[in-house]
Amino acid sequence: MADYREHRFRAQDGLSLYYRDYGDRDSTALPLLCLPGLTRNSRDFHKVAQRHSGTRRVICPDYRGRGRSDYDPSAKSYQPAIYLNDIRHLLTITGIGRAVVIGTSLGGLLAMGMGAAIPTALAGVVLNDIGPGVGMSGLEKIMDYISADRPHPDWNSAVQDMKRIFPNLTLETDADWRDAAQATWREGDDGTLHFDWDIRLAASVRDGPAIPDLWPLFQSLDKVPTLAIRGALSDVLTAETFDAMARARPSLQQLTIPSAGHVPTLSEPAAQDKIDTFLAALPAH
């Protein structure tokens, strides 16, 4: 039996969007909705989904302009409000009323957005290396990296590029690095490897509205059980913001992953154990 089922659905504007559906649709356990980072896709959560799909349903989407989802004709549509609308449609299509959201980077910001826009959909939230303050040096480094295609002749070349640009990823084996590369590049018609996202994303972020005050969005999760995970070397979620989150929300659960930058993979043993414990403590419904 395959690990997951592949599906597509139509967004409100007609764009065809892709998602992976793991586990038993009829499980009584709370489903997981895994939301990736800015340029990332469903493949980043494959190991997380495998770990939990024996007991619960796990949904992993590709945002518009990423992975196997359609690219938007208008780069101006690459905005959080539209992503949230896509997520709302996804929950409707899958018949999911409430879920635990695991959000990495942008995915965590969208989880906070859900707290404001569709709070009844949230049974719990895991924020992976993101919070209500975004380190600008880390953001600028990401923007520089994603704004232009970086083609490679083969997978070995792509892996070496990842190791050079992201030395603080907690990937241990050659297979882990190759999996990460294959979730970052795709083979093009020209036989070379190209980024697996619409590179217009960078311009849409840079030319879009300034980042608003995110603290009200974080505070929208006040009544939602929340776990925040930080890479100890992260330049996107700083130690100062992480500490401020704890002061603002005494019930917030937190975990720091040593030697990890932006972002932890969530396959680290400490992250796996903490997420297991967090999920086990949630009410069943």
SS3 260: coil
Phi, psi of 82 (to 5 degrees): -75, -40
* Domains of the chain as residue ranges with CATH: 4-143+213-279 (3.40.50.1820)
Q: Scan for tokens 């600008």, then name that residue.
A: 136
Q: What is the distance between the alpha carbons of residues 195 and 187, in angstroms, rounded to a whole number?
A: 9
SS3 254: strand
Question: What is the predicted pLDDT for the residue at 1?
Answer: 44
Whether the pTM exceeds 0.85: the reply is yes
Q: Is-contact 192 152, C-beta < 8 A?
A: yes
- Gap between the terminal Cα atoms of the chain: 28
Q: What is the distance between the alpha carbons of residues 174 and 177, in angstroms, rounded to a whole number?
A: 5
Q: Is-contact 135 236, C-beta < 8 A?
A: yes
**What string of pLDDT tens digits covers the 285 residues of the chain?**
468 999 999 999 999 999 999 999 999 999 999 999 999 999 999 999 999 999 999 999 999 999 999 999 999 999 999 999 999 999 999 999 999 999 999 999 999 999 999 999 999 999 999 999 988 888 888 888 888 888 999 999 999 999 998 888 999 899 999 999 999 999 999 999 999 999 999 888 887 777 888 999 999 999 999 999 999 999 999 999 999 999 999 999 999 999 999 999 999 999 999 999 999 999 876
Question: What is the predicted pLDDT for the residue at 285?
Answer: 64
The pairing of strands 16-22 and 4-10 is antiparallel
SS3 139: helix
Q: Is-contact 49 34, C-beta < 8 A?
A: yes
Exposure string for 230-240, b = 16+ CB within 10 A, e = fewer = bbeebbbbbee
255: which DSSP letter? E
Closest by Cα among 56, 232, 226, 11 to 129:
232
Q: Is-contact 165 177, C-beta < 8 A?
A: no
15: which DSSP letter? -
Contacts of 121 (CB under 8 A, 6+ apart): 91, 96, 97, 98, 99, 114
Phi, psi of 122 (to 5 degrees): -100, 120
Contacts of 190 (CB under 8 A, 6+ apart): none
152: which DSSP letter? B
Please write the tens of the pLDDT for every residue from 243-270: 999 999 999 999 999 999 999 999 999 9
